[in-house]
Structure 1
Amino acid sequence: MIYELRIYEPVEGRTEALRDRLLNRAMPMMPDHRIEVVAAFTPTPDDGRVVYLCRFEDEDARAAAWAAFAADPRWKSLREETEVDGPLIKTMASTLMRSALPGAEKF
């Protein structure tokens, strides 16, 4: 198993729009493409970022899952609809990780 930590920083004034798109509208589509969201977070104190953790079988599965998601017409439509007034994302960072604890793959 590998894990991917994704951190999104919104464009100023677009925090709620980004959170709605990611948490309420995009994430429900992700399982259709074998993207397992393990958890999602907002930092404290709240600085507007959205942080979430995904799990994949391996790096090939991750690449295939994100490619399928990017090609999904529902995602393309959602992105277009939510960016009518401009982009929502200022920066996005992604870190791939493996568990360092024995037996932690179960969580």
Structure 2
Amino acid sequence: MIYELRIYNCLPGRMADLQRRFEDHTLNIWKRHGIEQAGFWTTAIGTSNNDLTYMLRWNSMAERETKWAAFMADPEWQAARKASEANGPLIANASSQFLTPTSFSSVK
């Protein structure tokens, strides 16, 4: 199992729009493509309260590449992204890390 940690640093005032895009569109599109989320978080205390952090669960990097490419090419996703950014971009910066659980991790 591989976990992908993604952190989106939202532009000021755009967090609600980004969360709405996930809740109203992205999660349903992911479900259709077999993309499994492991959780979403906002930063309560830390370096930036404009961060949306989430994790995705993958069986392999090959699965990730195939499913992510299909998601990014999905016309419904492209339309949802375009509509959500009608008033400008939502994200200032995005980062991604791929994590593998240790032998003693509670998450496998």
| Percent identical residues | 32
**TM-score scaled to structure 1, two decimals?**
0.89
Distance in 2 of aligned mates of 1:42 and 1:23: 14
Unpaired segments of 5 or more residues in structure 1? none
Partner amino acid for 1:44?
A
Q: Residue in 2 aligned with 1:30?
A: 30
What stretches of structure 1 move > 6 A for 4+ residues in a row? Answer: none
Aligned residue for 2:103, secondary structure, equals coil
Unpaired segments of 5 or more residues in structure 2? none
Partner amino acid for 2:50?
G
Aligned positions, number: 105
Q: Deviations over 1:45-89 (max 9, x none)?
A: 370211111111100100111100001111010011111111111
Q: Residue in 2 aligned with 1:51?
A: 53
**TM-score scaled to structure 2, two decimals?**
0.88
Matched, 1:91 2:93: yes
Cα pair 2:2 2:61 within 8 Å, conserved: yes
Deviates more, 1:77-86 or 1:44-53: 44-53
Q: Residue in 2 aligned with 1:73?
A: 75
Matched, 1:12 2:12: yes
Distance in 2 of aligned mates of 1:92 and 1:104: 24
Distance in 2 of aligned mates of 1:104 and 1:16: 30
Distance in 1 of aligned mates of 2:23 and 2:49: 16
